[in-house]
Structures are given as C-alpha cells and as structure tokens.
Structure 1
Amino acid sequence: MAEIAKVAVIGAGVMGAGIAAHVANAGVPVLLLDIVPKGADNRNAIAEGAIAKMQKADPAPFMSKAAARLVTPGNTEDDLAKLADCDWIIEAVVEKLDVKQALYRRIDAVRKAGSVVSSNTSTIPLAALTKGLGETFARDFLITHFFNPPRYMRLLEIVTSPQTRPDALEAVERFADFKLGKSVVHCKDRPGFIGNRLGVYWLQTAVVEAFDLGLEVEEADAVMGKPMGFPKTGVFGLLDLVGLDLMPHIHASMTAALPKNDPYQQAVRDLPLIDRMLAEGYTGRKGKGGFYRLNRDGGAKVKETLSLKTGEYRPQQKADLDIPKDIKAQLASDTKAGRYAWAVMARTLSYAAMLVPEVADDIASVDEAMRLGYAWKQGPFEMIDRLGTEWFVARLEKDGLPVPELLRTAAGRPFYRVENGRRQMLGPDGAYHDIVRPDGVLLLEDIKRTREPLLKNGSAALWDIGDGVACFEFTSKLNTIDADIMALLAKATKLVARDFKAMVIYNEGTAFSAGANLGLALFAVNIAAWPILEQMITEGQAVYKGLKYAPFPVVGAPSGLALGGGCEILLHCDALQAHAESYIGLVECGVGLIPAWGGCKEMLHRWSTLGKLPKGPMPAVAKVFEMISTATVAKSAAEAKELLFLKPNDGITMNRYRLLADAKAKALELARDYVPPQEPEFVLPGESAAVAMGLAAESFHRRGLATKHDLVVSGTLAEVLSGGDTDVTRTLRESDVLALEFSRFQKLLHHPDTLARIEHVLETGKPLRN
C-alpha cells in the first residue's frame, strides 16, 4: 500500500490522545475522535479537552506547538465519515470486546479500501477482535500496542493474524520505525503479548514478596530500582505512576486467558491493603496518592509512604539496606535485600525463559520489549548471562523452583555470544543465530566488536565507522567534558584531517553530554589551582574553534541531554543530525557561571543572522540574554530548532537506532564540496544595552523571580553579550567575544556564591537559589 499520510485515533483517553500527539510529532495530520458527552453543548468536548490538557502536561506529549496544530478533534457521531481520508485508523477505546467490535463495524462501513485498522489493546486476543467481521476487515487488521507515554516509550508491539496483508504490516511497521521512532517487536497472539505478560508478572511478584518477606515500600523500591538496572521508581513507585486501579482489570483479563498452571496464576492473590486503597480512592498519582503521597495538611508538604506493616501513612524513610552493586552479588546475598531480590528475580527470569517461544520466537525480542517497554537497562536474558546460566539453574534447583526448557537447552552456555565479530543469540533449537540489524541501522556497539579505536583515553575514543567517516565518542560519566576529552578531540581533529573525509560526534549513552565536569573544576578551585582552570577555558575555546574551522565537515548527533559544554560543542559543528528526544541548552547560569567555550558567541551569531527578529544588534542580544540567563533547555529537537540550537537545515531522526547512520550520511553529503565557514563579525550595542538588561533582571528580582546572585550572574552575562566597552560603530571579531567570555567566566568562578552553587549541585543534584 502507499505511504501513510493521514491517521485517525479513536479514543481520546490518556493512551489514545498520547498516540495522536506522537503521530502529530512526526508531522502527520491526525484525526482524534471520542464519544459525544451526555448533555454537553460542545460535541467535541472530550477530544478538545484532551488536546488542551496535553499542551499543558509535563512531560509534554507534543514535541512542539506546531505538532499540536496537526491534531483535529471530533466525535464518533458526527465525524466518522472523515475516516475515509485516513490511511491508518487506530482504535484506543475501553478494553471491552463488545464495544470494540461494535466500533469496528461502524469503521468498516466508512473507511476507504485498503486502509489499515489496528487496536491498541494489550489484553484481548486478535482472533477474538476480528471474529465475525469478515475476511476483508481481517486482512486489513492488526494489533499495535503502544506503551505509555507514547512519545517517550520506544517500544511498539505488533501482532498479526494469518489473514493480515503483508503490505499492510509493512506500511505500519515502516511508519512506526521512521516516523514514530519506534522499535517494533513482533509478538504472538498470546495474553499480554511480551511486555505486559512478563512486566506485570514481575510487578505482581515484587508486591507479593514484599508483603511476605516483611519489607516496607522504600526497602522494596530500593532493591527493585537502580541497583537492579530498573527505573528509580522501583515497583511501588511505578504502580503509583501507572495507576493501581488499572491492575485489577489486567489481572482479571490475564488470569481468565492463561492456563491454570501458568505461574502468573499463582502470583495473583488478594491483598487486603491494596483492596482498601482502591476503595478509598488511593489509586496513585492520578488519585489522592498511592504507596507514596504528598501530605499538604496544615499548609505543609510532607512526603509520606504507606507502611505495608501497619497500613497507615508515615513520613517517608530512607531504606537502611546493604545492596551490592553487582546483580549476582545481590541475588546471592543472604540479607534482607538479597533474599527479596532473589525471591522476585528468580521467578521473573525463570518466567521469561518459559515465554520463548510461546510469546516470541527469540530471546532478543523479549529483552528488547523489557528494555524499551519497562525501561530496564538489560533484558532478562542479558541479566541471566550476567549471573551465568549454570549458576542460575543450580540455584533454581536448590530452591525447588521450576527450570524452564530453554534454560535446560542452554546447558551452561550464555544466551548471547560474539562470534566472528557478530552478536548471536541462542535459539530454542539449541543453536546460535546472528542478530541482524535492519537496513539503515548502524550502532557503535556493533562496530566496537570488530575494530579497535583509532584513539582512546579514559574519557573519549575515536572510531572508524567506514566510508571515510570517523566517530568521536565521549565515554566519561554522564559524558561530562574534561581535559581528557579536549586533548583527544584536538588529536582527533588532526588525524581526521589527514586520513578521513568527515567526523561525527556521537555516543550511545543516555545523555549526549551533561556539560563540563564541575567536580574537577571545584577541586581545582579548592586547591587554588587557577592556572589549571584558565588553561581549561582557553584550551576548550581553542579546541572547539579548531573543530569549527577544520578542513572537513563535523556533524553532531545528540540524543538526550546536551547541556552547557555539551551544547557548545554542538554549536561549533557544521551541522547536526539530532535524535528527536534531544534536550539542548546552555545552563551555566544555574550554577553561577556563563558559557565560556564559545556558547555566547555562537548564539549571538545565530540569532543575528538566522533569527526572525527586528533589525539592529539589540533584538538578538536581548533574545540570547533571555535564553542563557534563564537556562532555557529545548525539550525536543523540534523545539531546539525554534531556539536555534539547531539550524533550519539540521536534521531530526525519530528512531534512536538510526541516528548514527543518518549522521554519517549527512557528513558524507557535506564532504562532497566542503568549504570551512568564514569567521563571523559582530556589531554589539555596548554598555547601554548591558544597563538595560540589568534593569530587566532587577525587575525579576523585585518580583521574587530572581535571587541576589542571579543578578550578579545575569549582569556579567550582559557584559559579554553587549560587547563590553564597545558600541555600534565598532566591529568585533570572534576572538574579542571569546576574550569577554573568558574574563567574565573567571570573575564568576572566584565568587563565593558561585562556588556555593556548584557545591550544592554536586551534593544534591539540585540548583541552589542563593
């Protein structure tokens, strides 16, 4: 079938509205329909209300204001005929078979021939959904199970039937991959598919075992959180997030559909405390609270936790547990934490092994579903490999727990291995099979299996990624930028100039770069090593400038956070190919500093040449002052374009797995006839502009929106952006603005209130408002 050009979503609840918003994020018009509310004057009230609510939500379902304008609200009584214009119709209504089938009959009467219809169900089998609806409908139907929130969760589970047209599946899968940025996992038509079959079992087991072993909520979440490679919410925090009221519906559906001997059946049991919570409206974050709540009685804000032992709320406590960082040490530990970890994970990992090939043909699909659907750092089979299959089986047998056939098949072998540079997975047949990446997917982790780095130190590496393109990778904690990165980047620039066509700056961490390493800067301050700090700034300016004027193109490929110095390196690239979920900004003012590696200079140049502002130097200066002084961070790559952290011709990649390949292609395109950019010149307004910006900051201070030190920092920033003692009759060079950045940064670094801010951020992770 042709490309999907217009989509409809029926059901404007949290999931349906979120799916519609993400389709709009892809630049595709979408029709959002829901029922007509009884007695309402506005027949589109539900859909319109959902759109309005999403525009205020945080985290935001929309990537930009422009995306929101692509969603057209309507209702299922007046607007169903509009489905005739849609190529893909997504049903996201209540999980009741009769309701869904009645809707499908109405859809089938108006949709155009060859349009695809899919359900977002996670509990009803596909065979039941299409029963009695005819062969033509069955050929055009599939299940597309999104995870909440649809914008941020990268997993999409797809279920088809033998009747589903291959080209219908191909069209949806391609759209989901390239337009929505989803990793598509094919599931069999089994209850809960992959993610919820295993994920809900894990949650339920963790809750039951916490009660049985006498743990409190904080203790259970401390174990089933970051130390295990799970989200920091843990299990009880996650239940609060998704809503406790959802769980009984899932359990009822799953227990009705699964065989009586399935371990899921044994995991589900009545827990009187949770029954009471539901009856009293304690359903989690969307209710009055859940296992955690914020008590506002008497005007106070007290974080409280529900005690599993007393059933009453009490002030939140820190878990007093000894939790090893190594997963095997955790599970082997004969401590309260270790016994709980083993009780939960032994059953969860064993259950995962039971599900192949029942719910998926291979282990990689299960691991991908749990990584991207439940935000586990590693999938269950990757975790078993860390334990060792032989150790895990022996421990299961010792405790009298079931050992699934797949674990017997492994017979002490790992589930994953690398053979001749290719990653392979163990199949249910007992043989290893290559893991094949889709066309257009290039991952640095694969390259590392077959090649040695061209250059490497403790914080960075340079890799040959083929076709004359090199890739510079940060490897420090949170990819913070330090002297080692600067030194290697200087070496890399020379090597690439000699031996390559282009360079990409990219990594596969959760953050592209959290900025400069503040800990090292604070250490240097504390020992009064001012020459080291001066060298750090001057070298950074020189390295970034060298990157900008190198005789080859440089393409930045960020994903996740790109803050401070991480943003500044992107500003010095010739072009960017950014993942859609890139959060870019100059945030130095938050720690009492200003950008000093060329960030002020580059943003001034961009807003004076690319910004759609009134003529003259002041509008650009005022805009950059506003952005940097308030530590503005773009909440998507689309918003980064609006803020000119990305230039108009920079690219955005929706699928994270395709980012490196897209960046490499852009680099090769630029390399064909590359000419380094010309050095910019600046005409800045001078001292009068600095005074005006200072007055604006003072007004914020009087209204309680800026602190005393904010005035100091913003005043210093104003001196740089206005050009110091210049005026509009003079032309400044790039080096002049860099000199201003350097001198004013040094001035702030000597200020005790700045040092207090840096110390506070390093200790707490939160800004200090001093």
Structure 2
Amino acid sequence: MSKPIQKVCVIGAGTMGAGIAAQVANAGVPVLLLDIVPKQGNNRNAIAEGAVARMLKTEPAPFMSKSAAKLVETGNIEDHLEKVAECDWIIEAVIERLDIKQGLYEKLEALKQPGCAVSSNTSTIPLANLVEGRSDAFKADFLITHFFNPPRYMRLMEIVTGPATDAGVADKVEQFADVALGKTVVAAKDTPGFIANRIGTLWIQLGLNAAFDMGLSVELADAVAGKPMGVPKTGIFGLVDLVGIDLMPHLQASLTSTLPKDDPYQAIAREIPLIEKMIADGYTGRKGKGGFYRLNKEKGRQKEVIDLVSGEYHAAARPAGPRGAAAKGDLRKLVETKGDIGAYAWAILGGTLAYAASLVPEAADDVVAIDDTMKLGYNWKHGPFEMIDKLGAAYLAKRLEAEGKPVPEILKIAGERSFYRIEDGKRQFLGLDGEYHDVVRAEGVLSLADIKLASKPIIKNASAALWDIGEGVVCLEFTGKMNALDGEVMKLIVKALPIVQAQYKAMVVYNDGANFSAGANLGLAMFAVNIAAYSEIEKLVAGGQMAYKGLKYAPFPVVGAPAGMALGGGCEILLHCDAIQAHAELYTGLVECGVGLVPGWGGNGEMLERARNARGMPKGPMPPVGKVFETVSTATVSKSAAQAKEMLFLRPDDGVTMNRDRVLYDARQKALAMVEGYTPPEAPEFKLPGDTGRVGLSLAAQGFHKRGLATDYDLVVSDALAEVLTGGDADLVDTVSEQELLKLERDAFMKLVRSPRSIARVEHMLETGKPLRN
C-alpha cells in the first residue's frame, strides 16, 4: 500500500500550475510550487512568488480564503528541486514541449521517493511519449492528470494511466483528486486529446467552418449553438473569445500531428484567413483587444461583433434565432428547422455526435465517461449520448447514412433503443455488448436523484418534499424555482417535524440544485404588496420564524447541506440547523438589506449568538452587535465555505465537503453521528446595548454615507437593522429573550416592506437581478 498523499509538489507556476497548487491548498494540504529562475532580478523565486501574489488579487479567486495561500511554499527548480523528496504527488505543469518535460522527469527520478506519484497536466502529449527512456520504477509511478481551467471551479479531471502504471498509485491519486480536490475523475485512454478536448476541438472547428461557409452572422451562429443545444450562452464564437483565439492553431496543430490520418478531425481541420489575421492584429479574444466580439471604448463600450465575410466590426444585433420548441432544447425540432438555423444546427450536432459515438471504446470505455466529461469539462447541460437520446439514435444513424457518412458501431448496436433508461428505479446505460448496465456511484456518493427514481416522497407539496434517504434519516428538499422559499415550504417543515420525531432519527436539509436557495420568493411578496395584503406578508414572516425555530428545537438532529448560493432565507434556515456539512463552493449571506429589508426569519438572533461565542470576540454587548451589523447591513456574501466560517455563517466545527457529489452522504453521516444522546439547544437570552448601541451603529453608517459608500435609503434600512440588533427599547441592564428579538425583527420587516423605496428595490431585483442603489 503506497503512502497517502500528505504533501504535493506542483512544477510550473503558470495559470494552470498555480491554480492547481491553490486548489491543493484549499484542501488544507501543504503544496510546494516551483518554477524556473527568472533571467532578470535578484529574487530566484520570483516566478512562483509572483503567481501566488497574483492569485490573491484575482477574481474569481483561485484561493477559497487568503489563509489557504499560507500552505503554498514557493521555490525554484534549480535550488529547491530536492524538496520533492518530501512530497507524495508531483504534478508537472510546464510548457507543452516533450524535451523539457522529459528532461525534468530525468531529474525527478533521481530525487523522488519510491511510490511518489508523478503526473503531467498535459492535454496533448501521449503518456507513452512522456515516459520514453525512463525506468520501469518511474513508469509505475507515472500517469496523466488533466485538470481544466480554472482548477478551483472546473470539476473535471481526466486521468490517463499507462500499461506500466501501478494501480495502487493511480488509485491513491484518484481518491485524493476526488475527495480532497473535489474532482469528478474520468478515466480516459492514452489517445490524442483524451476525451474532452478531442470532442470539444472538433465541435468548435465544425461550428467555425459551417458559419464561415454559410456566411452566417456570429450572433446567429451563437444563438443556434448555445442555449438551444444546452451549451453555455457563449455559443462557439463566444467560447473561442473566452479561451483565446490564439489557442486554436496550437490545438489544431497538436491534434493533426497525433491523430490518425483517417480521423474525421483531419478532414475538417483548416486554416481560416480571417482568424489568422485577427491573431496577427492582436484580436485574440477577451485577453486581447477583442475577438469575434469586442467592446468599443470610443462608443461608450458598445458591444460589437465581427462580420465573417468582410472582417469589419458592427454593433451587435439580436438575431432571429430558434423559436418555440427548437429554442427550448428539442434537438429534433432544431435540426429540422428550415433554412440556415436547421442547417447550421445539423452541421454541428451531426458531426459532433457521430464523432463522440465513434470514440467508444477508443477514447473511453463507455458512454457515461464521455457524457460526464463533456458536461463537466465544457459545461454542456447534456452529454453527447444524452443528446443522441433526444434526437434518437436511429434518427442520427439514418441521417448519417443518407449523407454517405459512416455510422459508428455503437449507433448500430443501439438501433431503436436509447443509450439511457430507468429500470427498477435505477439509471442504466447501454454498453458495447448490447446490454444495459447500472450507472454505479462511487463509495461515499449518495444521490438524491437516484433516491427519487426508486421511491416516493414521504410528504410533498408545490414547493418542498420530504424523502427517506436511508439509515433513518430524511431529506428536506426545496423544489421551487431557484429553490425559493415561501409559505408552502414553511407548512411542510411544520408538518414534517412530528413525522420525523415519530419514525426517523435525523433530518438533512439538501437539494440537488446548483444553488441551495436564492432566498424568499420575492415575486409572491410583491404580489401581496401590490394588493396591500400586508397581513399575509406578516403571516409569512411569522410562519417562517415558527418553522425555523421548530427545526432548531426539534428533538432530533438537523444538518444543513448547502451548495452554491444560500441567500437570505436560505442562509437563515442554515443558521437554525444543529450543524452544517457544506460544499466548499458555498456563497451564503443575509442579503435582505440589499433589497431594502432586514432578515425576518430569525437570522439576526442566530448571528448574534454566533458572534458572542466567536473565538477572540471582545467581551461586552457591543462587539458582537457591531460584527453582525457590519456583515448584515452590507449584505456581504461569502465566496466559499471557508470564508463563510470567517464570517460566522458557519461554525468552526461545521464540515466542508470538497466534492459536490459527496455532500449528501457526508451530511447524512454527520447527522447519524449526532443522534446518540442528542438534546436540543436551550433558547438564548441576549444582553444588548439598547439606545447607546443604536446611536453608535448609526454614526458608523453615516460615516459610510459621507464617503459615498452608502445611499440615503441605506441609512434608513441600516437604522431599522440597528434597532433589532441592539434590542429596541431595551436598556443595557435588560435581558432580551429570543421571542422578543423575533418580534423586533417582524416589526422592522413589516415597516420596511411598506416603504415605496423598499418596494422599488425588490422590483428592480426581480426585473434585473441586480440591487438598486436608491
């Protein structure tokens, strides 16, 4: 059994290498980051040190917290390469030149410990070429681990092993990448471009070629090859701008030099004169002067787009793109749309899906690996075989045959069948043997989607459901749009409490959505305001307080398991849980002040309780109040779970799961660990500073106002918040109960919700998704 990974070395401090090092540090693991000695200057570690310094200023941030950067030790290859002997995994992320990589491996072989994994982040060079001339022992420890940029946010990692790679070493790396780094690891074959870039590059080339050949506008091309196909709204031209137009010739050269001459990509790879001219003129995309799209600063940053025929820029226009079902993901309707839209859609989909189908088993063992790769590596909503199921495998085969194009063997095997099906409550995929096989989850992965296939909810309504997730634990799921919270959610919580108490051990609050909850359903609130149904709004506020306190004081453990955004009321329900097991990418905060309101579902008191118990908090009633006021009045949102701990939204001992797929399982285990001997918390009482404290907070807010950091109405909202946090009319010697604080919260909320300026803020947020600074 090889030694577990306790320290990592990354060699190459460019964008990818530095980002990989940051993600290792995010996992709480020490990492050594090395690069060459710069040709100028006296600081021999300047390149690696500069990379860390840049990452601390970069947005979106590679580091989940600034403290993670302290785990990165910097150095250079000439002076510090011997330190690789301290490491259990060495990741090479240097320039894509075989001679440089092989020269580095020769040095590493003499320095590293036996069993220390060595991997390359290459996306273009075959593994067999990389290890040529190395010893059998080195080959046993070597593999390819292809990360995607940016490493913190892109969940995919392709792993490639060679015939000599030790299975134990590969398993060690895969487990670490999965659990510690949060990656979905897909096994790829040692073929050019592996899976994602091989399919993705062909897809992009098909889209570029067809648009130029058909004389389409860039706007129309991206309108067809974007959201209607379940592809990010950048489409193809916008994506090329994002990754860099100058990268395309390098990818093309790499694939054409390594792919077999009869590979379909060879037939479509070509130089496009306009693209060559754009690169020569510095129009390399977003990192350059612009690309297919640009912002014209001389015209007030007007968005412009290039004409593919003339090469001239003009103001971007909204094209008459796909309509109806074709715009909403019906791929059959899309490719059958008459005119340029259908022809362009088929040129891309027909070629891409046929190519993906031809790569089983050459590039990957099964259809699941290819689908996972494209969904995670290119952010496609559906993988190629899921798209084929939308079109119909037989339909795709028939159209390919009619055009005289080869039909991949796996399409012939499928015939009239789909590649995926649900059988006996399990999701299955079609294999090359013509049989269906269960989609198997890794150990420690619990999928709510799988549970829902095989069971029915214990109870449900229009906005929430309660599921049995095994071992005596239930899952409370929000089901509304953006998992917004409303009266129906609160009713289901109240209804669920006695059921769980009588029949189960614990509850987890979780859903499979990209975002845990966007907060209260503001649309419903505005409807009530518009008909002056203020009593209904007050019922909703009081009902939410009652439901959340019901969770807090339930006679069983409640564990929150959030991922993505958990805002406003979504944050407040977490504050009432006994414990939290969060995904590392947690963006949470009490954002109500941004829409002219105050937290109304008990969040103020819960934050006060956390603040007064926080390590290092000065004694006395004012410091905790000041801390909470600063966070809540500014509607500050964490940029990670690590930051959420720093901001007190999470407790120090709350759990953080790096891999999104493992959150539910980890939360269930945390809940089960709390069952034995569980007792609910006692209701807190607060010593709050009263009028004196309120004046102090008001003066602080006025200071922000004078500096232009707060608007006139921000002062009104912050005064209402200050009144809640300082205890209203309470005197410094008085004790404020939790119920009294809840009433102050309700009163402040109801006062603000009647204000035209708060209503304007809410309406602006609903219409634009952005705060109104009135």
The bucket for the TM-score relative to the shorter chain is over 0.9
Determine helix, strand or coil for the equivalent of 2:74.
Answer: strand
Q: Classify 1:708/1:340 alpha carbon distance in 2 versus 1 (closer, same or farther; 3 Å).
A: farther
Write out per-residue CA displacement over residues 219-243 of structure 1, whole angstroms, 9 at most, x where no aligned residue: 2222222332222222222222211
Matches within 5 A, 1:131-530: 131-297=132-298, 300-323=300-323, 324-328=327-331, 329-530=333-534
| Counterparts of 1:418 and 1:593, CA distance in 2 | 46
Q: Which runs of 5+ in 1 are unaligned?
A: none
Contact 1:64/1:638, CA 8 A, preserved across alignment = yes
| Counterparts of 1:290 and 1:623, CA distance in 2 | 46
| Deviation for aligned residue 1:400 | 4.2
Give the corresponding residue for 1:638: 642
- Residue 24 of structure 1 pairs with residue 28 of structure 2: no
* Amino acid across the alignment from 2:255: M
| Counterparts of 2:220 and 2:752, CA distance in 1 | 42
Q: Classify 1:664/1:412 alpha carbon distance in 2 versus 1 (closer, same or farther; 3 Å).
A: same
Contact 2:224/2:322, CA 8 A, preserved across alignment = no
* Amino acid across the alignment from 2:288: G
Could you tell which deviates more after superposition, 365-374 or 287-296?
287-296
* Amino acid across the alignment from 2:549: K
Taking structure 2 as the reference length, the TM-score comes to: 0.97
* Amino acid across the alignment from 1:571: L
| Counterparts of 1:683 and 1:708, CA distance in 2 | 30
Determine helix, strand or coil for the equivalent of 1:719.
Answer: helix
Write out per-residue CA displacement over residues 683-703 of structure 1, whole angstroms, 9 at most, x where no aligned residue: 111122222222222222222
Give the corresponding residue for 1:748: 752
* Amino acid across the alignment from 1:458: A
Give the corresponding residue for 1:122: 123
| Counterparts of 1:724 and 1:316, CA distance in 2 | 54
Could you tell which deviates more after superposition, 610-619 or 177-186?
610-619
| Deviation for aligned residue 1:738 | 0.8
Could you tell which deviates more after superposition, 306-315 or 580-589?
306-315
Matches within 5 A, 1:652-671: 652-671=656-675
| Counterparts of 1:33 and 1:250, CA distance in 2 | 26
Give the corresponding residue for 2:83: 82
Write out per-residue CA displacement over residues 429-465 of structure 1, whole angstroms, 9 at most, x where no aligned residue: 2111222111111101111111111111222111111
| Counterparts of 1:309 and 1:655, CA distance in 2 | 46
* Amino acid across the alignment from 1:35: I
Write out per-residue CA displacement over residues 490-509 of structure 1, whole angstroms, 9 at most, x where no aligned residue: 11122111111000011111
- Residue 700 of structure 1 pairs with residue 704 of structure 2: yes
* Amino acid across the alignment from 2:768: T
Determine helix, strand or coil for the equivalent of 1:753.
Answer: helix
Give the corresponding residue for 1:572: 576
| Counterparts of 2:162 and 2:661, CA distance in 1 | 27
| Counterparts of 1:402 and 1:154, CA distance in 2 | 33
Q: Classify 1:400/1:150 alpha carbon distance in 2 versus 1 (closer, same or farther; 3 Å).
A: same
Write out per-residue CA displacement over residues 292-340 of structure 1, whole angstroms, 9 at most, x where no aligned residue: 2233237x33233223243223333323323321323222222433332
Determine helix, strand or coil for the equivalent of 1:429.
Answer: coil
Give the corresponding residue for 1:100: 101
Write out per-residue CA displacement over residues 702-721 of structure 1, whole angstroms, 9 at most, x where no aligned residue: 22211222121112111111
* Amino acid across the alignment from 2:296: N
Write out per-residue CA displacement over residues 381-430 of structure 1, whole angstroms, 9 at most, x where no aligned residue: 11111222223323333444432111111011010112222221111121
Determine helix, strand or coil for the equivalent of 2:432.
Answer: coil
Could you tell which deviates more after superposition, 697-706 or 745-754?
697-706
Determine helix, strand or coil for the equivalent of 2:144.
Answer: strand
| Counterparts of 2:712 and 2:109, CA distance in 1 | 64
Contact 1:611/1:620, CA 8 A, preserved across alignment = no
| Counterparts of 1:595 and 1:308, CA distance in 2 | 52
| Counterparts of 1:697 and 1:525, CA distance in 2 | 28
Could you tell which deviates more after superposition, 257-266 or 38-47?
257-266
Determine helix, strand or coil for the equivalent of 2:514.
Answer: coil
Contact 1:463/1:470, CA 8 A, preserved across alignment = yes
| Counterparts of 1:389 and 1:455, CA distance in 2 | 38
| Counterparts of 1:29 and 1:152, CA distance in 2 | 20
Determine helix, strand or coil for the equivalent of 1:452.
Answer: coil
Give the corresponding residue for 1:113: 114
Contact 2:473/2:505, CA 8 A, preserved across alignment = yes
Matches within 5 A, 1:37-48: 37-48=38-49
| Counterparts of 1:660 and 1:57, CA distance in 2 | 31
| Deviation for aligned residue 1:759 | 1.2
* Amino acid across the alignment from 1:310: S
* Amino acid across the alignment from 1:172: V
| Counterparts of 1:174 and 1:236, CA distance in 2 | 36
| Counterparts of 2:692 and 2:606, CA distance in 1 | 22
| Counterparts of 1:397 and 1:173, CA distance in 2 | 40
| Counterparts of 2:525 and 2:108, CA distance in 1 | 62
| Counterparts of 2:717 and 2:218, CA distance in 1 | 42
Determine helix, strand or coil for the equivalent of 2:305.
Answer: strand
Give the corresponding residue for 1:711: 715
| Counterparts of 1:327 and 1:403, CA distance in 2 | 23
* Amino acid across the alignment from 2:280: A
* Amino acid across the alignment from 2:338: D
Contact 2:322/2:334, CA 8 A, preserved across alignment = no
| Counterparts of 2:398 and 2:342, CA distance in 1 | 17
Q: Classify 1:319/1:106 alpha carbon distance in 2 versus 1 (closer, same or farther; 3 Å).
A: same
Contact 1:147/1:156, CA 8 A, preserved across alignment = yes
* Amino acid across the alignment from 2:320: D
- Residue 535 of structure 1 pairs with residue 539 of structure 2: yes
Determine helix, strand or coil for the equivalent of 1:234.
Answer: coil
Contact 1:681/1:731, CA 8 A, preserved across alignment = yes
* Amino acid across the alignment from 1:174: Q
Write out per-residue CA displacement over residues 659-696 of structure 1, whole angstroms, 9 at most, x where no aligned residue: 11110011111111110000011111112222222222
Determine helix, strand or coil for the equivalent of 2:145.
Answer: strand
Contact 2:230/2:329, CA 8 A, preserved across alignment = no
| Deviation for aligned residue 1:757 | 1.3
Write out per-residue CA displacement over residues 541-584 of structure 1, whole angstroms, 9 at most, x where no aligned residue: 11111111111110000011100110001001000000111111
Q: Classify 1:766/1:335 alpha carbon distance in 2 versus 1 (closer, same or farther; 3 Å).
A: farther
* Amino acid across the alignment from 1:417: R
Q: Which runs of 5+ in 2 are unaligned?
A: none
Give the corresponding residue for 2:739: 735
Contact 2:64/2:643, CA 8 A, preserved across alignment = yes
| Counterparts of 2:309 and 2:615, CA distance in 1 | 60
| Deviation for aligned residue 1:218 | 2.4
Contact 1:9/1:20, CA 8 A, preserved across alignment = yes
| Counterparts of 1:712 and 1:6, CA distance in 2 | 51
Give the corresponding residue for 1:615: 619
Could you tell which deviates more after superposition, 194-203 or 319-328?
319-328
| Counterparts of 2:606 and 2:155, CA distance in 1 | 33
Could you tell which deviates more after superposition, 13-22 or 708-717?
708-717
